[in-house]
Chains A and B, each alone.
Chain A
Amino acid sequence: MTPLNYFVVLSAVLFVIGVAGVLLRRNVIVMFMSIELMLNAVNLAFVAFGRQLGNAEGQVIVFFAITVAAAEAAVGLGIIIAVFRNRMTLNADELKLLRW
């Protein structure tokens, strides 16, 4: 049986990798993927803690997090398409203005 700590450490490592992706990459889509990675790292911690505490509420929270992530992905990708059609770039350094 793997101890809880290992799962939490793995979750922390994945979260840090996601943060590094947002900080280091300039492509908006890759930054978005890094955010998904961070979300999943936190989900893993939720499930591991729920397992340790013996109740299924952690899983319910992860269920809602997955649903919200689906909505977030749809809206975020819609915004990315709109930005790309207007600016023809996905480089975060060139997207400074929050308007057309």
Chain B
Amino acid sequence: MPLWLFAFFAIIAVVSALGVILQRHPVHCLLALALALLDIGALFIGLGAEALGFLQIIIYVGAIMVLFLFVIWLLNLQREGLATERIGLKVIGTLAAAALGAELCALLVHAGPAPAAPLPVDYGSLRSLARLLFANYLVAFEVTSALLLAAMVGAIGLARRIPGTNAVAAPPSDVADRLRSAAG
């Protein structure tokens, strides 16, 4: 990846990441985040990981961001007002983030890069990725499918609406009573 191309994508990434945390309308934050993720996918491709870059764009920008967007629409979130309270906490938060950044910079300044190893011919291709996934990491791959199924069932159960009411599913009353008596 030539330096000018990296600089182009890096500037877009930083500006859009700042957009995520500085804009007040959740949809604007989300669009900035989608741009940042798209940009990171482009950086993956620039690093030679073509298959992964396209997977990132399809899964993250195509699926996860749309899920966020649907939730924001579903909840009808509007622009937030300027939070004037708790300014002290914001100052502390900014300082803490700046301290973390300084710490990371101090670490990176002292770390010398490992010498670049020669790349295999099919580096970053779907073939090399799939060969690792279905050979060395097969168990993890299968566990991932179980994880996705569990997450799907869990998300449906969490967001389910009780028919006829506006509330989401609360535990059945006998369970709630037992919980309460156990807590008391």
Contact = CB atoms under 8 A, between A and B. Distances in A.
A52 B17 contact: no
A91 to B, nearest CB: 9
Contacts, number: 233
B12 to A, nearest CB: 11
A23 interface: yes
Contacts of A33: 20, 29-30, 33, 68
Contacts of B182: none
Contact of A23 (B67, B97, B123, B167): B97
Nearest to B40: A40
Contact of B152 (A2, A54, A74): A74
Contacts of B90: 24
Task: Please classify the interface of chain B as helix (H, G, I), strand (E, B), loop, or mixed, using the class held by over half of its residues.
Answer: helix
Given A71-B148, A85-B166, A90-B75, A7 B43 contact: yes
A63 B133 contact: yes
Residues of B in contact with A, size category: 35 or more
A47 B14 contact: no
B80 interface: yes
Interface in B86-136: 86, 90, 93-94, 96-98, 100-101, 104-105, 108, 113-114, 116-120, 123-124, 128-129, 132-133, 136
Query: Interface centre among A59, A60, A75, by most B CB within 10 Å?
Result: A59
Task: Please classify the interface of chain A as helix (H, G, I), strand (E, B), loop, or mixed, using the class held by over half of its residues.
Answer: helix
Contacts of B3: 2, 6
A66 B61 CA distance: 11
Contacts of B21: 17-18, 20-21, 24-25, 30, 34
Interface of B: 1-3, 6, 10, 13-14, 17-18, 20-21, 26, 29-30, 33, 36-37, 40, 43-44, 46-49, 51-52, 55-56, 59-60, 63-64, 67-68, 71-72, 74-75, 77, 80, 83, 86, 90, 93-94, 96-98, 100-101, 104-105, 108, 113-114, 116-120, 123-124, 128-129, 132-133, 136-137, 140, 144, 147-148, 150-152, 154-159, 161, 166-168, 170
Interface of A: 1-10, 12-21, 23-27, 29-30, 32-34, 36-37, 40, 43-44, 47-48, 50-57, 59-60, 62-64, 66-75, 77-82, 84-86, 90, 93, 100
Given A27-B77, A44-B43, A63-B55, 7 more contacts: A3-B113, A10-B13, A12-B108, A14-B17, A40-B37, A67-B147, A78-B157
